[in-house]
Amino acid sequence: MTTVLRLDGIDRSFGDRQVLKNVSFDVVAGRMTGFVGGNGAGKTTTMRIILGVLAADAGRVTWGAQPLNRSIRGRFGYMPEERGLYPKMSVREQVVYLGRLHGMSAEGARRATDTLLERIGLGERGDDLLETLSLGNQQRAQIAAALVHDPEVLVLDEPFSGLDPLAVDTILAVLRERAAAGAPVLFSSHQLDVVERLCDDLVIIADGAIRAAGSREQLRASSATRRFELVVDTDAGWLRDHPGVSLVDLDGARAVFDLAADTDEQPVLHAALARGPVRAFRPVTPSLAEIFREVTQ
């Protein structure tokens, strides 16, 4: 059985404003889970609760069926949304320090830091003060700070914001490695195209409530509105009168249409072939952006 980081019925209010309403979802070991939502939807609050930085009003978080406590959370890696390390300490020194705060030995922390900095392309800059690094390199240092103690679970709040494409690839490779090694990786983002490219599973939150959760394929399948694209040689306007078809877009020989639930797509294809050659006939899978728009509306 795979180990799961499970959120179960989390509520949280600030004053009389409820920001999380019965939030429940799983982050499965070995998979990258994208956590998507608009600004103020509750992503950061949820992550802070997972890390114990904030307390939940109700509900619980478990890792492998055990409720979280400080010693379990000590084996988590966390990258908060608001970035910051000590500006006047060298990168190496503070990454070692954070490793030690997570219970590593001095020697172990030093070794892990050297390897990690090398891996993410900061080996040369390790002894520079953080404040002298470029913004992108500070971001890399931040990732190093979250990974130094080889965490069992990774929770990253907007890990890719502010990174150049090269850095995104480096960081992504490191995260994939961790996931492949069996760690659940939960990361939030509002860049849907990035999430679409990276994640295995997806959790969508809006107004403090989970709107959809599951694997990317599942979500696509379940939210697919049975939409098809047809390309023929002549005008495809006849589709308008075909039973069960509602046209979404018609551009001469190319048409996009939705099928009613009780209508099969094969008769439509036959009808098209009867009128001439068919150049393309395929189901249209919704993009993440479309799914997101759909479930959050």
Report the interface residues with other proteins, using CB under 8 A: 48, 51-55, 68-71, 73-74, 76, 78-80, 82-89, 97-98, 100-103, 145-146
CB nearer to other proteins: pick between 31 and 73: 73
- State the alpha helices, DSSP H only, in 17-82: 43-51, 70-73
Three-state DSSP class for residue 130: helix
Asked if 230 contacts 254 with a C-beta cutoff of 8 angstroms, the reply is yes
Pair of tokens at residue 178: 């961790």
CB nearer to other proteins: pick between 98 and 194: 98
DSSP structure class, residue 68: P
CB nearer to other proteins: pick between 158 and 196: 158
**What is the nearest approach in angstroms of other proteins to the Cβ of residue 87?**
6
Please give the Cα distance from 206 to 187 (Å, whole number): 16
**What is the nearest approach in angstroms of other proteins to the Cβ of residue 189?**
18
CB nearer to other proteins: pick between 162 and 276: 162
Asked if 46 contacts 23 with a C-beta cutoff of 8 angstroms, the reply is yes
CB nearer to other proteins: pick between 128 and 290: 128
For residue 95, give every residue at least 6 positions away whose Cβ sits within 8 Å of its Cβ, in sequence order, or none. Answer: 109, 113, 116, 117, 141, 144, 145, 148
**What is the nearest approach in angstroms of other proteins to the Cβ of residue 97?**
6
CA distances from 146 to 34, 143, 231 (A): 17, 5, 50
46: number of CA atoms within 13 Å, CB side?
Answer: 35
CA distances from 158 to 43, 138, 150, 163 (A): 10, 14, 20, 10
**What is the nearest approach in angstroms of other proteins to the Cβ of residue 205?**
20
What does residue 221 show for φ and ψ, rounded to 5 degrees? Answer: -65, -45
CB nearer to other proteins: pick between 35 and 78: 78
Asked if 250 contacts 199 with a C-beta cutoff of 8 angstroms, the reply is no
CB nearer to other proteins: pick between 49 and 239: 49
**What is the nearest approach in angstroms of other proteins to the Cβ of residue 80?**
4
Please give the Cα distance from 51 to 186 (Å, whole number): 12
Asked if 251 contacts 229 with a C-beta cutoff of 8 angstroms, the reply is no
**What is the nearest approach in angstroms of other proteins to the Cβ of residue 146?**
8
**What is the nearest approach in angstroms of other proteins to the Cβ of residue 227?**
43
